Structure 1
Amino acid sequence: MVKHYISIKMQNIGHTSRILIVDDVQLNLDLMKDILSDQEYQIATAINGKSALAKARAHKFDLILLDVVLPDIDGFEVCSILKSNPQTQDIPIIFLTAKKEKDSIVKGFQLGAVDYIPKPFSKEELLARVNLHLTLRRAQHELIHSKEIAEASAKAKAIFLANISHEIRTPMNGIIGMIDIMKRTELTGEQLEYIDIIGISGENLLMIINDVLDFSKIEAGQVTFERIIFNLADEINEVTKILRYKALQKGLSLSFQIAPEVPELLIGDPLRLKQVLINLCNNSIKFTSKGFVRIQVSLIKSDEELVRLYFEVRDSGIGISPENQSKLFTSFTQAETSTTRKFGGTGLGLAISKNLVQLMNGSIGIISEEGNGAIFHFECEFGTVTQTPDIEDNQALEEILNFDKKFKILVAEDNVINQKIAILNLEKLGHQVLVVSDGIQAVESCIRESPDLILMDIQMPEMDGIEATAKIREWEYLNKVKTRVPIVAMTANAMKSDKELFINAGMDDFLGKPFNVSDLIWLLNRIYKQQEV
């Protein structure tokens, strides 16, 4: 059985494996060399410890056969030196020893040896043990190589997602931004209705795009969660506002109810919570032809650190049979193929929601019978707000809208449509706007014009936003500028750690594309509140 194993494996690894044999007895060296050379291994020999160490450092060996008793340095010390050197520490070592004491064998393993061969040895045992460890060595190399390929693939995927996110969101910023601007012009009732329809279509398209990008980010482990204080009722109310028109089109009532014991303020990621609720409500609206869709929130438990909430999205829709419920939270899957044809959709929303809820230490499920509506439910954790913050967002917003000072804002953006949107939105708010098309111009304009704020695109020709920010911060430092200009990343990038990257590069905030005038107002609110502090 052993011989058969050897003959098969030698075909795979014998030609490329290099072995160093260390023994002070020439007869032993010659014998082992003859046995192993028959298998077409590449063999090197050493008659003492110093020679073995020199050869191990000079050549790459796949295995070392090391005698314990050597004239200058014993095998244990040689092993210890090899294992302490990063260049040689991964080479497997098999001890050759005539000592059969247990302590001696244990010491060898403690120093990092993988095996030992007692003297005198048989040809079959020597070949079997050498072949076994060379096979393991090759398998280890293949695993490392596979890991490197997987890491390179993941990195390439992350870069691709960042690029495709930018390429998709940039034109969407133009569409949604111009719709937002048109709504604030003189329009007839009919024109406003048409603009609303275009806007809703744009938002729906953006939702599909975000589903695809978010699914890819979840797969790549690129999803991050903020921990900020938010008002739960305000966030759920925003969900109903976003979906109200879609519900009204079908004659549905869309409402929410929060139990009185649920805390008003929570700590967590309101955007991710809204994303889950929008996906669930959107699904309910899609499959409900008459009646209602209702969000309900209740308290499971709370303490000084954590609040655990139970969310339900109830509807009076078509319901789902038990056999189809298991498919709901699977990516790219809907209950039936006819569902896709009739109602549309990517089949990603519920799968994304499941992943997001799990990342918030929660679980998600459904209670439904075919023809009797459905209850999508999930629970997740949030931080407890121990002290009510002094937040006066409405007052701050009003102050920005009616502020007498005209801020000078530098917009660094290479896309002409996005430039136009930024100019129109900011000028309508009463600010002076300067526009440049690349990072080099941004640095020059900042030094020359001394703006109050810079909106900095990340992906620009000549010099990107990250490098331009570094140049501006360097100039401020060298010129001992007392108050540095706030720089906000204005980008379609939405990958993990992007925000941290921008902050670490010297930026002060992050504005994701597409954005509207409300986003700009809240941005100004944050920036200038920070400056007052």
Structure 2
Amino acid sequence: MPPSSPLLPALRWVTLATIAGTIVAMVVDLLSMHGPWLIVALALGVVSFVCCFTALRLLDRAIENAAAGIRKASDAAQQASHDASEQNAQFDSMRNQLEEYRRLQEELTAAKQAAEQGALAKSEFLATMSHEVRTPLNGIVPILELLQSSRLELDQRELLNTALQSARQLLRIVDDILDYSKLEAHKLQLESVTLNLRETLDSVIRLLERQAQSKGLRLSLHIGPDVRAVFRGDPVRLRQIVSNLVSNALKFTERGSITVQVAKLKETRTHHQLRFEVQDTGVGISPEAAGKLFSAFSQADASTTRVYGGTGLGLAICKRIVDLMGGRIGVDSEVGRGSTFWFEIPMLKVSGDIEGPRSGLQGARLLVLTNDATLHKRIAASLAQTGASVQFVENTQDALAQLRAVAAAPGRGFDVLIVDAASIKHTLVALQRNLATMSDAERMRVLILEPPEPLPEDVRELPNTVIVQRALAESDLRPKLVELMAGEAISTSGRDSSPAVTLTAGDASMTAPPPRAPAPAPAPAPSAERAALIGPLRGRLLLVEDNPVNLMVAQRLIALLGLQCDTAENGEQAIEKIKRGRYDIVLMDCQMPVLDGYSATRAWRVHEAQHHLRPLPIIAMTANAMAGDRQKCLDAGMDDYLSKPVARDQLESTLRRWLASRAHAVGDLPLPEEPAPVVGAAPLPASPPAKAVLSVLTADEIAAAGQLLEQATAQFVAEMGAEAEHASDALAAPPTRAAGATPTAPTAPTAPATAATPAAAPTPPPPAPAPPPVPAPAPEAAPAAPRKLPPALEAEIVEDLWSAMGDSFRDLVNVYLEDAPVHLGKLDAAVASNDVGALVGPAHALKSSSANLGAMQVSAAAKHVEHGARNGTLTQPQVAVKVLHYEFKRAEAELRSLLGD
């Protein structure tokens, strides 16, 4: 029976009742007793009862204890059984978990392998897509750029510009997709190099300034005075972020301005925390739309893509790059009131990596004359950390007062006067005259910021003066000031630094204008780097390319740069040609049959090492544009990398840089024997390149031009009468003339009828006495065959001016036709008074104004007079001035015919 059974107490009481009954029975039996035995019996009954009760109590306790022990044992047995069951269940669960873990591990391994294979396939696909997309674009963009330099009607040029803009937009979209794909695949790596913050942002402003001007928008840059100029970071990605934000602002802003601002938020021991802002006055963005702007393929609303275009990747790329830089990006906007896109990033400090501009302008005293508040801020910010003392005035009177005040104190004069010509249009000439009378003028340098409209010629003659464009970048202003103070940039016009072509006619010489590079309209503003590069390229180049379209495009670009070019279709041919020929640079495609560019470069580097040859610059020119492609080219032994499609500016700057470095290594640039045609190049158009008057002249062409000038000289001699005839004898005849030999007067030249028709050749005169050692022909000899004179006007320059100025072009021509005779009259007066020095000013004025209008022959003749008078080499000023008269008559006739007068 279980110890806890309810019958146990009942049994106990039954036992006590039985004992009690027994005792009672005994008592009853004893009651029949008498005497002492009765008392004894009663006492024994009581004692028995007590003993029985005590024994029962002890027995009850023992039973309860036993029952408790039994219960504990039972509970322990049950708990052990339960624990065993739980352990079995846990073991079963653990076994199941281990089996699940093994299964998941196998699945994860398989997924990882699949992901790696997918990433590899994606990377290969991106590389292939990049190459395949860029290859046809390389046959589109450069060819369209080349077409811009050809003769086109206005509507054709508009169509061409539209096609070129579309091609460039397509290229930007491809670049955006590739960048985002690289960010998604974590393939984009940031570099850390020393960068100049102002120059980096200036490059963005210069790139997009023309687009802003075309929409009538003001685009400006403001950098806080406490922001350092030099940091360490990734200039390419920083430029990409700012360019994307400014491009978006241009897209959504129709009027007003766009401002790029940089401010310092805080500074640590190693970093500056900078905040970049791009503020616009555009349409604005609602708070709901702003929340999804930085998501991939997202724009403000569905109509944005339809109205403004784009892929919606630009801001997503910016956010990813800012995140990689450890910063944050956002937007503050209100519909109808514009937007401010901002990002904050840490920039690593630099100590002593780049020497700032302070050393060049330290202690310099500058006086700036401008009433333009924006220009005031730009110049002040640009010169804030140079160590120069800068003082601003707003008008000519204040400037002259300051100059006179410091002139009386020795050693306190200004070193440079910066003049904003747009601020003092009506008093600029007066300022020039007053400066000429000041005693301090010889020491002080003058930097004139030229407005879009031309400056008076008298201003260009100011001594110690440099004229630069008003839109000069802030990063270019400081070096220009340093050069100006050092006396390295002094030039009255700032436009005659290019080499000229000299044409010889008898004993006289005429200097033709330098080659004019094609200037498409419209075209991006030239970079500061390109503007600083002066002089033609010279050298021999090997182009290794298997694609016929790319080959033709590259040949055209190289031909326009004036370089000799040989070609090869694969790496094997390239190595053989390099071994046989002498080249200054090799442009190497990377993916070619037979032997690719990488292998060919490695093979040539081995050959150079074995034969102790001087390293030959090899530049990769490939459509591969992935992150590791550049490093792959460098690892193969190439020296530089150009990504297709190659822009002409980029190609020119790269070739110029490597040609210059090679020239420093050997002492001078390699000079070709003569401008040879491109080997294997596709035939060029029969017409001369646009704006390329005398840009490529062979020896025969120079000799022919000399004979043409000789004929023109002889014609003017006849017009001048006896005095001119005597001058002609001195110019063209030998020292002694055969007795009785007299020249026959030539007929007057015939002016051209229309501008569309080439200038008519003058009636051929009898040949003038030839210089020795050729004997003079007999008077009765037949006249020589006429040679065609160069056109009086360069048609492409005229077309560009007309398309750019519209109805104002007629006013420009009329001003020129009214102004040029005045200068010609001054030249005639100087010749009559035998004052050679007085020829310089009017000749210089004619030179620049004629060149700007496209009258290149007038400009060449005027330049000959100017340089000859300045250098004292003008032996026959009467003849030279007459040549100038004649060329002006030709240009005047064509201009009047062009205007229908």
TM-score by length of 2: 0.42
Q: How does 1:509-524 map to 2 (within 5 A)?
A: 509-524=640-655
The 1:199/1:245 distance shift into structure 2, 3 A limit, reads: farther
**Structure 2 counterpart of 1:47:** none
Kindly report which structure 2 residues correspond to 1:154-233, keeping only aligned pairs within 5 A, or say none.
154-185=119-150, 195-233=160-198
Contact 1:490 1:510 in 2 (8 A): yes
After alignment, is 304-313 or 481-490 more displaced? Answer: 304-313
User: Is 1:237 paired with 2:211?
Assistant: no
Counterparts of 1:185 and 1:529, CA distance in 2: 30
Q: Which amino acid aligns with 1:421?
A: V
1:31-430 equivalences in 2 (<5 Å) = 129-185=94-150, 195-302=160-267, 305-387=270-352, 388=354, 401-402=534-535, 406-430=538-562
**Structure-2 separation of matches of 1:370 and 1:506:** 54
Calculate percent identity across the aligned residue pairs: 39
Structure 1 unmatched runs, 5+: 1-121
1:449 corresponds to which residue?
Answer: 581
How far does the alpha carbon of each residue in 1:72-112 deviate from its partner, in whole angstroms, 9 at most, with x for none?
xxxxxxxxxxxxxxxxxxxxxxxxxxxxxxxxxxxxxxxxx
Cα distance in 2 for partners of 1:125, 1:235 equals 66
Contact 1:293 1:316 in 2 (8 A): yes
Structure 2 CA distance for aligned equivalents of residues 390 and 469 of structure 1: 38
Q: Partner residue of 2:590?
A: 458
Q: Residue 224 of structure 1 contacts residue 497 of structure 1 at CA under 8 Å; is this kept in 2?
A: no
Higher relative contact order (CA 8 A, sep 6+): 1
Q: Give the match for residue 475 of structure 1.
A: 607
Q: Is the 8 A contact 2:198 2:229 kept in 1?
A: yes
The one-letter code sitting in structure 1 at the alignment partner of 2:618 is: I
Q: Deviations over 1:363-403 (max 9, x none)?
A: 11000122221100012233434332599999996896526
Equivalences, count: 412
1:400–1:521 contact (8 Å) kept in structure 2: no
1:146, distance to aligned residue in structure 2 (A): 0.9
Q: Deviations over 1:287-314 (max 9, x none)?
A: 2232222211222345675443211111
Residues 400 and 170 (structure 1), Cα distance of their counterparts in 2 relative to 1, 3 Å cut: same
Q: 1:440 aligns with which of 572, 578, 581?
A: 572
SS at match of 2:246: helix
Task: Tell me the residue number matched to 1:7.
Answer: none
Q: Matched residue of 1:290: which SS?
A: coil
Tell me the CA shift for residue 327 of structure 1: 0.5
The Cα offsets for residues 117-167 of structure 1, whole Å up to 9 and x where unpaired, read as xxxxx9877766555434322321221111111011001100110111111
Contact 1:223–1:495 (Cα < 8 Å) also in 2: no
Larger mean CA deviation between 202-211 and 223-232 belongs to 223-232
More strand by share: 1
Distance 1:446 1:307, change over 3 A: farther
Judged with a 3 Å threshold, the aligned counterparts in structure 2 of structure 1 residues 323 and 493 are, in CA distance, closer, same or farther, namely same
Secondary structure at 1:179 match in 2:
helix
Tell me which residue corresponds to 1:495. 626
Q: Displacement, 1:527?
A: 3.0
Q: Work out the CA distance in 2 between the residues paired with 1:210 and 1:410.
A: 29
The verdict on how the C-alpha distance between 1:377 and 1:396 changes in structure 2, with shifts beyond 3 A counting, is closer
Q: 1:363 to 1:430 in 2, by over 3 A?
A: same
- Structure 2 residue identity aligned to 1:485: L
Deviations 1:466-520 (A, max 9, x none): 122122222223x323312122221121212222221111111111122222212
Deviation for aligned residue 1:204: 1.9
Q: Give 2:599's aligned amino acid.
A: E
| Cα displacement (A) at 1:237 | 3.0
Distance 2:349 2:157 in 1: 43
Q: 1:450 to 1:143 in 2, by over 3 A?
A: farther
**Structure 1 pair 125/365, CA: closer, same or farther in 2 (3 Å)?**
closer
* Structure 1 residue 416, shift from structure 2 partner: 1.9
Once residues 487 and 423 of structure 1 are traced to their aligned partners in structure 2, the CA distance between those partners, rounded to angstroms, is 17
How far apart, CA to CA, are the structure 2 residues paired with 1:441 and 1:501?
Answer: 22
Say if 1:307 and 1:129 are closer, same or farther in 2 by CA, change over 3 A.
Answer: closer
Supply the distance in 2 between the matched residues of 1:348 and 1:269 (Cα, whole angstroms): 20
Letter in 2 for 1:314: Q
**SS of corresponding position for 1:414:** coil
Task: Mark the CA change 1:187 to 1:132 in structure 2 (over 3 Å): closer, same or farther.
Answer: same
Greater C-alpha radius of gyration? 2
* Offset from partner CA, 1:301-348 (integer Å, 9 cap, x none): 456754432111111112111122110000011121122222222111
Paired AA for residue 200 in structure 2: E
Does the C-alpha gap of structure 1 residues 230 and 435 become closer, same or farther in structure 2, counting only changes over 3 Å? Answer: farther
Mapped partners of 1:399, 1:154: distance in 2:
45
The farther-off stretch of 425-434 and 302-311 is 302-311
CA distance in structure 2 between the partners assigned to 1:266 and 1:237 by the alignment? 15
- Give, in whole Å, the separation in 1 of the partners of 2:355 and 2:573: 41
Indicate the SS of the match to 1:266. Answer: strand
Question: How far apart are the structure 2 equivalents of 1:398 and 1:441?
Answer: 36
1:308 alignment partner, SS class: strand
Q: Answer yes or no: is the 8 Å Cα contact 2:530–2:649 preserved in 1.
A: no
Select between 332-341 and 350-359 the one with higher mean Cα deviation: 332-341
Distance 1:132 1:291 in 2: 67
- 2 CA distance for matches of 1:243 and 1:380? 23
Question: What is the DSSP-based 3-state SS (H/G/I as helix, E as strand, rest coil) of the residue aligned with 2:337?
Answer: coil
Q: Distance in 1 between matches of 2:90 and 2:311?
A: 60
Letter matched to residue 105 of structure 2: Q
Q: For 1:322, give the aligned amino acid.
A: P
Q: Is the 8 A contact 2:536 2:561 kept in 1?
A: no
Give the corresponding residue for 2:433: none
**Is the 1:400–1:524 contact (alpha carbons within 8 Å) kept by the matching residues of 2?**
no
Q: How far apart, in 1, do the equivalents of 2:356 and 2:550 lie?
A: 35
Residue identity opposite 1:458 in structure 2: C
**Distance apart, 1:184 and its partner CA:** 4.3
Secondary structure of the 1:455 match is strand
**2:584–2:659 Cα contact (<8 Å) kept:** no
5+ residue gaps, structure 2, are 1-86, 358-478, 481-526, 666-901
Offset at residue 189 of structure 1 (A): 6.8
Preserved CA contact (<8 Å) 1:329 1:351: yes
Does residue 486 (structure 1) correspond to residue 617 (structure 2)? The answer is: yes
The answer on whether the counterparts of 1:303 and 1:384 sit within 8 Å (CA) in structure 2 is: no
TM-score, L = length of structure 1: 0.70
Q: How far apart are residue 448 of structure 1 and its match?
A: 2.4
Structure 1 pair 184–360 and aligned structure 2 pair: CA distance change class (3 A)? farther
* Displacement after TM superposition at 1:277 (Å): 1.6
In structure 2, relative to structure 1, the CA distance for the partners of 1:264 and 1:184 (3 Å cut) is farther
Q: Give the whole-Å Cα distance in 1 for the aligned partners of 2:149 and 2:582.
A: 31
Distance in 2 separating the partners of 1:171 and 1:193: 22
* Whole-angstrom CA distance in 2 between matches of 1:164 and 1:363: 31
Letter in 2 for 1:148: Q
Instruction: Give the direction of change, closer, same or farther, for the CA distance of 1:399–1:284 in structure 2 (3 Å limit).
Output: closer
1:46 alignment counterpart? none
